[in-house]
Amino acid sequence: MIRVQEEDFDLGAELKAMSAGKTSIGGLCSFVGLVRDMAGDAEIGAMTLEHYPGMTEKALEEIETEAHARWPLDATLIIHRYGRLEPGDQIVLVAAASAHREAAFEACHYLIDFLKTRAPFWKLEDTADGAKWVDARASDDAATARWAVKSGEE
């Protein structure tokens, strides 16, 4: 399931709902991204997340579908927020549940790596020097690229 929303989410309730009644699940791996108060050396007050309605949902659904094609998963969940967020706020939740621990870990990792390079979100950070668009990181491209290598190895 994917959701794009302005409001916060209840991490515990979301994870519980994912596995409720599915006793074939042996492991549930989740990752939550939070607003940090420091990015590089500049102190961050808050940020605003812009996104591309329509394409965002499409991109997240494609990433989720691809994860299910690669691993035997009982459930996956992607929730991404947009709008204004303060330090400590939750930005994103990705989770994957499987009979097998490695599948849950790898699929969860895959979901966040691809989300970082494919989902159309842009962060505008409030800094001491004014609002600044966050630059994409080469490490995120590298994180995505490694899944291509891993597939080849399998």
Partner 1 sequence: MKLLYFAWVRERVGGASEDIPRPDGVATVGDLVAWLAARGDGYAEAFEESSMVRAAVNQEHVDLSHPVADGDEVAFFPPVTGG
Task: Tell me whether residue 65 or residue 133 sits nearer to partner 1 (CB atom).
Answer: 133
Distance in Å, CB of 12 to partner 1, minimum? 21
Among 53, 88, 130, 152, binds a second copy (CB under 8 A): 88
Task: Name the segment binding partner 1 (CB under 8 A); options: 17-25, 69-77, 110-118, 145-153.
Answer: 110-118
If one asks whether residue 112 binds partner 1 (CB under 8 A), the answer comes out as yes
Task: Tell me whether residue 50 or residue 86 sits nearer to a second copy (CB atom).
Answer: 86
Among 46, 124, 134, 143, binds a second copy (CB under 8 A): 143
Task: Tell me whether residue 16 or residue 101 sits nearer to partner 1 (CB atom).
Answer: 101
Q: If 0-12 CB within 10 Å is exposed, 13-18 middle and 19+ buried, where does residue 40 land?
A: exposed
Among 27, 62, 126, 134, binds a second copy (CB under 8 A): 27
d(CA 127, CA 80): 23
Strand extents, DSSP E, the chain: 2-5, 27-34, 38-39, 42-51, 75-81, 83-85, 90-98, 121-127, 130-133
Whats the size of the chain, residue-wise?
154
1 binds, among a second copy, partner 1, none (CB under 5 to 8 A by kind): none
d(CA 89, CA 45): 12
Closest CA to 28 of 116, 100, 78: 100
